[in-house]
């Protein structure tokens, strides 16, 4: 499990049945946070990459600023 900060968001990767990222404060729209996951074979690195891509999409595309 790794935790890091990216563009003002705290991100923690957790392995349950697959890799998932928990992001604080929560991403809006919520659907972005739900798709941030990776299979066991893809690994934690893929999950981290998807989490940072989702944060970029929220900030750049949806115009949401860092809290």
pLDDT at site 35: 78
19-24/37-38 β-pairing: antiparallel
pLDDT at site 66: 52
Which among 25, 36, 38 has a CA at the least distance from the CA of 65?
A: 25
* pTM higher than the cut 0.85: no
pLDDT at site 57: 86
Q: What is the 3-state secondary structure (H, E, C) of 20-37?
A: EEEEECCCCCHHHHHCCE
Q: Could you read off the pLDDT tens digit of each residue along the chain, which spans 67 residues?
A: 689 999 999 999 999 899 999 888 887 766 777 778 999 999 999 999 999 999 998 888 766 665 5
Whether residue 59 contacts residue 66, with contact meaning beta carbons closer than 8 Å, is answered with yes
């Amino acid at each position: 499990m790794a935790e890091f900060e990216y563009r003002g968001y705290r991100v923690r990767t957790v392995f349950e049945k697959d890799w998932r990222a928990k992001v604080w404060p929560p991403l809006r729209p919520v659907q972005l946070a739900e798709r941030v996951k990776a299979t066991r074979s893809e690994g934690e690195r893929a999950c981290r990459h998807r989490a940072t891509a989702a944060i970029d999409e929220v900030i750049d595309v949806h115009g949401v600023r860092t809290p």
